[in-house]
Amino acid sequence: MRINRVDAFPLAYTEPNDCDSTRHLLLVRVEGASGVCGWGEAVTIWPEPTLAAAEIVRGGLAAVVLGREVEDVEALWLAQRDHMWWYGDSGIGCFALSALDMALWDLKGKALGQPLHRLLGGKVTERVRACASSHPNKATIDALAAELADMAGQGYTALKVGFGKKGAARLGQDMRRDLDFVAAVRAAIGPDVDFMVDIGYKVRYEVMQAVRVVRGFEQHDIRWIEDPLPYEDWDGYLRLRDAIQTPIATGERLWTVNDYRRLIERGIGDIVLVDAGRAEGVTGWQRVSRLLHAAGRHVNAHAWSGAVLTAASLHLTATAPNHIIFELKPKQSPVQFDLVDRPVEQHGGWVEVRDTPGIGVEVDEAALKRHLMR
Ligand SMILES: [Mg+2]
């Protein structure tokens, strides 16, 4: 199917899972010869990279793929990479590439009448375990623990909490209070629910402080500790690894397959987070996932944005035998629930993997217009 048209849509939305903050994302639509459309998304978060990535798609990458056959999506990924040689090794160029690559995969699936997971080699599971990935906003430890227990009550068998976020929770500011928090959560959710702590970039531990913190958390059985040190402090990660028994998750700040190859070669990360809306799209995600599988490490889809990325990430996760859980926002976000016809949801702690063509969701263009940046 020939690619006839490429459009980019910078969107703004209110995120109830992040203290009603305004966040941004980029959607890209590619149209094939028969009028069929594919959709892709980049996790741009702030307004200026959203607008800049939209301009890179419209003014640069669109011309690379127009008139080409969408079935050649990986050759088109290479062609986009070649086009970006001077500005695109990381950063905003990667956002643009990621969204367009995802849209091309969606269109290819629709052109061939096949779900994305089948184009990628096939799903290894019919469903994935749902993890509630939350930025809590309660002032007291009791209220925070009760909120997380409520999520477990909704069926989630895994809960991830971000430290250093906006709002009243103040997690990551006081080590003793943080330890009390982890203990209270474990008591509230019981022994059978996986609990992960995501330290977040605003919390600044040095290595030995991180060792003390994680050893404290380990008494309450956390499934993994995420980004406990600055992402580029690889020597620190190796020192921490030798001093704790909890798996370390990291990687969401990386941009390219090559970045991940170097991370894997250095032995960093037991669980590696990869965002298809940032790290070279669906093509990049699958390449990293296969490197991780060959290295005996786990992959986790970082996809805390809109419904298109969530749908694509679900397919990717289902093709990865080395995944553990699949993260969802616990509160109904407008870009998860209003923007598409069939939002990805958990039922009883599981998310079913779809067999409809492409990524399995259609964007509601009226909803899209409501969220367009002005
Ligand atoms: Mg994280």
Q: What is the pLDDT of residue 374?
A: 82
pLDDT digits (tens, 9 = 90+) for 113-159: 999 999 999 999 999 999 999 999 999 999 999 999 999 999 999 99
**Centroid of ligand 1 to alpha carbon of 76 (angstroms):** 30
Tokens found for residue 287: 């390449």
- May I ask the CATH architecture of the domain 3-113+366-371? 2-Layer Sandwich (3.30)
pLDDT digits (tens, 9 = 90+) for 169-189: 999 999 999 999 999 999 999
**Centroid of ligand 1 to alpha carbon of 133 (angstroms):** 9
For residue 106, the one-letter residue type is D
pLDDT at residue 200 above 90?
no
Band the pLDDT of 17: cuts 50, 70, 90: very high
Domain with CATH 3.20.20.120 in the chain: 118-352
Q: What is the pLDDT of residue 285?
A: 98
User: Residue 369: how many CB atoms within 10 A of its CB?
Assistant: 10
pLDDT digits (tens, 9 = 90+) for 280-328: 999 999 999 999 999 999 999 999 999 999 999 999 999 999 999 999 9
> What is the overall mean pLDDT for the chain?
97
Q: What is the pLDDT of residue 355?
A: 97
pLDDT digits (tens, 9 = 90+) for 246-288: 999 999 999 999 999 999 999 999 999 999 999 999 999 999 9
String of DSSP letters for 205-248: --HHHHHHHHHHHHTT--SEEE--S-TT-HHHHHHHHHH-SS-E
Q: What share of the chain in percent tops pLDDT 90? A: 98
**Centroid of ligand 1 to alpha carbon of 45 (angstroms):** 14
**Centroid of ligand 1 to alpha carbon of 3 (angstroms):** 35
**Centroid of ligand 1 to alpha carbon of 163 (angstroms):** 9
**Centroid of ligand 1 to alpha carbon of 172 (angstroms):** 14
**Centroid of ligand 1 to alpha carbon of 198 (angstroms):** 5
Assess contact for 28 and 6: CB atoms under 8 A. Answer: yes
Contacts of 312 (CB under 8 A, 6+ apart): 40, 41, 102, 105, 106, 116, 276, 282, 303, 359
Q: What is the pLDDT of residue 34?
A: 87
Q: What is the pLDDT of residue 153?
A: 97
**Centroid of ligand 1 to alpha carbon of 162 (angstroms):** 7
**Centroid of ligand 1 to alpha carbon of 115 (angstroms):** 28
Band the pLDDT of 201: cuts 50, 70, 90: confident
**Centroid of ligand 1 to alpha carbon of 299 (angstroms):** 13
pLDDT at residue 70 above 90?
yes
Domain with CATH 3.30.390.10 in the chain: 3-113+366-371
Assess contact for 203 and 55: CB atoms under 8 A. Answer: no
**Centroid of ligand 1 to alpha carbon of 363 (angstroms):** 27
Q: What share of the chain in percent tops pLDDT 70? A: 100
User: Maximum distance among all alpha carbons in the chain?
Assistant: 61
Strand order in the sheet with 3-15: 3-15, 21-32, 37-45
- May I ask the CATH architecture of the domain 118-352? Alpha-Beta Barrel (3.20)
Tokens found for residue 285: 């995600």
**Centroid of ligand 1 to alpha carbon of 248 (angstroms):** 11
**Centroid of ligand 1 to alpha carbon of 300 (angstroms):** 10
